[in-house]
Amino acid sequence: MLIIQANNIHESGAKSLLLSLLTSARDLYRNSKVVVFLDERLISTDPQYFPVSPDFDVVSVRATIFGRFMSEVKIWRLARRNADALLLCFGNLPPLFPCRAKTVVYFQTVLYFRQFSKYVVGVGAAVKFNIELIWIKLRLGTADRIFVQSRSVKDGLCREFKINSNVVEIYPFLNLKEIASDGVASESIEASCFFYPALGTPHKNHRMLIQAWVNLAKENIYPILILTLDSRYKSLLQYLDAAMTNDGIKVVNIGVVSHSAVLCQLKSSTALIFPSLCESFGLPLIEAKENNIPILAAESDYVRDLVVPAESFDPNSALSISRSVKRFLKIPELTPTIKSSDSFLRSLSELN
């Protein structure tokens, strides 16, 4: 039996990886029982991935503290009845209760590391974060095996939670056939643009990217930027609207769209731009690489773990981002002419 605990995943790159994993599980475990615990929000948005099957049970978990707790109780009971089962905890969190099954944790976020926890904002998010952090600290060491997506995540995991590095294996994966398949060009919004597919969470660094576009506009440079922001991020959307109105930057916000639509837009874009401040994997980076789309990205370890960008920049500097765009577009950067101290003094004499 395979038990998959993924009840805290319902969006972003983790969702794409999970759906790919479930598709593979259906094919590889046809003669075995599979039980998957999923966030009810994921099931409601992508019901086509969860058809009824006698050997593939989907347990819907309410996105509440009580709902999550009860799912852990159910997993404990299921593992107790099936001691030879394999439990895959796909959403970072190990089993809450001692488990008789062989336990594997796939750890795929760096926000639990101290240097990145500052990007968790909001009272509700902070409460959830701290509960999960205590959970990880108390229970992660009980896992038989831990898989991560990159060397940076492995190093951070071993450092933060005192995990023996021999237990941790780097094993990035995704559905390569899906991301390399031919997209429908007519579904793309713009064919000549810079594309940044990301939610509006703070570590995704949208404000700095928008400011970089403002810098470009002040030099009469107006590249098109495609974003995928939804209405949850009101403050960020207001910031974007102000920049578009006051500075005339060209931005198209397509909102949250399907993964296939994201891939289609990516394949039609001039380049992927990726200013995120921290990532465990950075799925769009791999998708761009596999489709030979140029990448402009932060000069960060998580980027170099996966790809070699065409241009890199300091993600904490809007000027650095805008300059990388200009380099990519082959627009020369004007630099000052260095003069002598004599000429400086002569210019001062002209002031008298």
pLDDT band at 185 (very low <50, low <70, confident <90, very high): very low
**186 has pLDDT over 50:** no
Question: In a 3-state reduction of DSSP, which class is residue 48?
Answer: helix
DSSP β-ladder status, 145-148 and 271-274: unpaired
Per-residue pLDDT tens digits for 69-91: 999 999 999 999 988 899 999 98
Radius of gyration of the chain (CA): 24
Please report how the helices 206-218 and 234-247 are oriented relative to each other, as an axis angle in degrees rounded to 10: 0
pLDDT (mean) for 37-51: 79
Count of CA atoms in the C-beta half-sphere (13 A) of 261: 12
In the numeric block, the tokens 């921290």 are attached to: 278
> How much is the pTM?
0.80
The greatest distance separating any two alpha carbons of the chain, rounded to the nearest whole angstrom, comes to 94
* Domains of the chain and CATH, by start: 2-173 (3.40.50.2000), 179-328 (3.40.50.2000)
pLDDT tens-digit map of 313-334: 999 999 999 999 999 999 998 8
> According to the model, what pLDDT value does residue 188 have?
57
Instruction: Please tell me the predicted confidence (pLDDT) of residue 125.
Output: 85
Give me the pLDDT at residue 103, please.
94
Give the contacts of 313 (CB within 8 A, at least 6 positions apart).
275, 296, 297, 298, 299, 320, 321, 323, 324
Q: Which residues pair with 170 in a beta bridge?
A: 148
Comparing C-alpha atoms, which of 174, 173, 184, 201 is closest to residue 263?
184
Do 134 and 158 meet the contact criterion of CB atoms below 8 Å apart?
no
Q: Please report which confidence band the pLDDT of residue 63 belongs to, taking 50, 70 and 90 as the band edges.
A: confident
User: Following DSSP, what letter does each residue of 63-77 receive, concatenated?
Assistant: SSHHHHHHHHHHHHH
At residue 190, the pLDDT reads: 59
pLDDT digits (tens, 9 = 90+) for 265-290: 999 999 999 999 999 888 999 999 99
Give the C-alpha separation, 148 to 306, whole Å. 13
Q: Residues 6 or more apart from 80 whose CB is under 8 A from it?
A: 100
- pLDDT bin (cut points 50, 70, 90) of residue 219 is very high
CB 88 within 8 A of CB 4: yes
